[in-house]
Every structure is written in structure tokens, then in C-alpha cells.
Amino acid sequence: MNAILELAGLTVRIDGPEPRTLVHGVDVAIAPGERLGVIGESGSGKSLTALAVLGLLPHPLVAGGSARVRADAGSSPIEIVGTPSRRLDRVRGTTVGAVFQEPLASLDPLMRIGRQLAWPLQHHRGLRGEALRRAVLDALADVQLAQPERIARSYIHEISGGQRQRVAIALALAAGPRLLIADEPTTALDVTVQAGILDLLQREVSERGMSLLFISHDLPVLAGIADHVLVMKDGRQMEQGPTTQILGAPAQPYTAQLVTASRRLDDFLPAGPATGADA
């Protein structure tokens, strides 16, 4: 089966008079419908790997190796590494969508939410007029935002953090990507709101038949959403495999430490999941 995303020897380095490698040769593939979780402490290279896949590494960071995506099952893979950013505009959105940790950094504070959401619907799906207006409202309703017409008229500072993240998810899904990259999408939210966002992501991925690359430093969160796990440390790939295998019988001492630490943390957490609204 053709992988939707395939990384082969992917590297990220600082280019300049004192070059330094930050990500060292990641090899991984994500099949259609698969959910891959990437786990590791801060500075392990998780987010840099995601930015390399999106072709969004800031200067002076440079990707090496290969990162290839497929627009559909029968198409030839598209190489991201080395391709100019302007040529990846149709890949970002239609093939790969992304949700980041802080929606305030990815949403425009000077533009009404409805206009922001209308752009990918118009640009990638060719919608105009009443069809475009209805698609914007449907997209907001689909991520379980009450009063979508009010949300569409609002600026991002006028809605809550949980609502902003739902808008960011709607924006990432607007053009119907085959792969969704979620980079620490709940870290900035409180526990109650976090549970709702995780439920939403799982529902959207399942209903749309998408693949998922879910990045987290929270092992219990990742274990609840990912089929397979990639463990990273200091920019290096430590091990990967089915979630049950990695958590039940880790091959690397570092992974075993993560599992042990998460179990110890459970002893200090209240029993039962948190629930509530994110109004």
C-alpha cells in the first residue's frame, strides 16, 4: 500500500558558518488511515520534523534527505525537501493540513474568522457566493462550534482558547487533506478543554479517513490517539512500532523511562477523565 507520507533519512540542520545538525536521519512511513504519534521531550526534534514535512522551516534551517507525500493513492509522490515553498502551496491544505500548539500564532488577528476560513475553500475548492458562505458555516459547525454565524463574524480575540483551536482545526481541514499534522495541539489548553479537542480530532480523522501525525510530549495523550509511535531524543530516532508494543515492551532505555515516568505521574492525577465545555 502506498504511503501517504514517507521520510527517508530526513535531516534538519542549521546552515551557516557554524553548521549544526538538529534532526539526524528520520525514517518513517504513514499508511492511509494510520495514526502515528511522535513522542519526546522538548528539543527532541519533533516540531522541526513536522515543519520540514510542511516545507516551512525558517531560515537558516535547511532540510536534507527526503520527505515525500502523495496527493492520492494512484499518484506519484511529491518531494518536499528542496522544493521551493511557493510550489508547495497546493500540497499544504489539499494533501497535508496542520494544527499547531498556539492558534494565536497561526490565525490572523486582523481578519474576521469567516474570511480566514473562506480563503482555502475558495482557493482550493473554487467555491463562490452563497456556496462559499454556507461552506464556511458548515466547517465551523463541523468542529462543534455553537453559533457559527457569530463565530464567522468574530475576530480571534473575541473567542476563547478552546474555540480558537477549533477554528484552527476547521482551517486545517477546509481543503480536505489526506494527512493532518497536529503539533502539540492541546498543550496550551486546560485539561477540560483538552479532552474536547482530542475527541474532536479523533472524530474528524476517523470520519474523513485521514492519516494523522500527532506530536506530543504527553505519553498518555499520545497512547489514546496513535496506532504507532515514533520516539525521538536529541534529534535522533530512538525506536518506532505499534503503540502497544512500544508502551508494553520498549526496546530502548529512554522509551522505558518515558513509560515509567508517565505511570508515576498517574499516581498523582485524579481518577476519571475531565469533561466540560470550552465556551
- Whether 273 is in a domain gets the answer no
Per-residue pLDDT at 188 = 74
- 251 occurs within a structural domain: yes
Please give the residue range of the domain that contains residue 61: 5-266
**Residue 1 pLDDT class (50, 70, 90 cuts):** low
* Residue 194 included in any domain: yes
Inter-residue contact 131 to 121 (CB < 8 Å)? no
Instruction: Let me know if residue 45 belongs to a domain.
Output: yes
Can you tell me the distance from the alpha carbon of 112 to that of 115, in angstroms, rounded to the nearest whole number? Answer: 6
Residue 56: inside a domain, yes or no? yes
For the chain, give the mean pLDDT. 90
Residue 67 covered by a domain: yes
pLDDT digits (tens, 9 = 90+) for 153-185: 999 999 999 999 999 999 999 999 999 999 999
How far is C-alpha 27 from the geometric centre of its chain's CA atoms? 18
| 275 lies in some domain | no
In the numeric block, the cell 489548553 is attached to 189
**pLDDT winner (highest mean) among 8-12, 171-175, 216-220:** 8-12
pLDDT on residue 165:
93
Give domain status of residue 152, yes or no: yes
Higher pLDDT, 81 or 269: 81
Give 191's Cβ-side CA count (13 Å radius): 8
* 178-200 burial: b if 16+ Cβ within 10 Å, else e: bbbbbbbbbebbeeebbbbbbeb
* Residue-wise pLDDT tens digits, 85-123: 888 988 998 999 999 988 887 899 999 999 999 999 998
Measured distance CA(172)–CA(182) in Å, rounded: 10
Cβ atoms of 173 and 99 within 8 Å: the answer is no
On whether the pTM is more than 0.85, the answer is yes
Instruction: Report how many domains make up the chain.
Output: 1
Q: Can you give the CATH number for the domain in which 96 is found?
A: 3.40.50.300
The closest alpha carbon to 231, from 8, 39, 87, 5, belongs to 39
Q: Tell me how far apart the alpha carbons of residues 193 and 140 are, in angstroms, rounded to a whole number.
A: 17
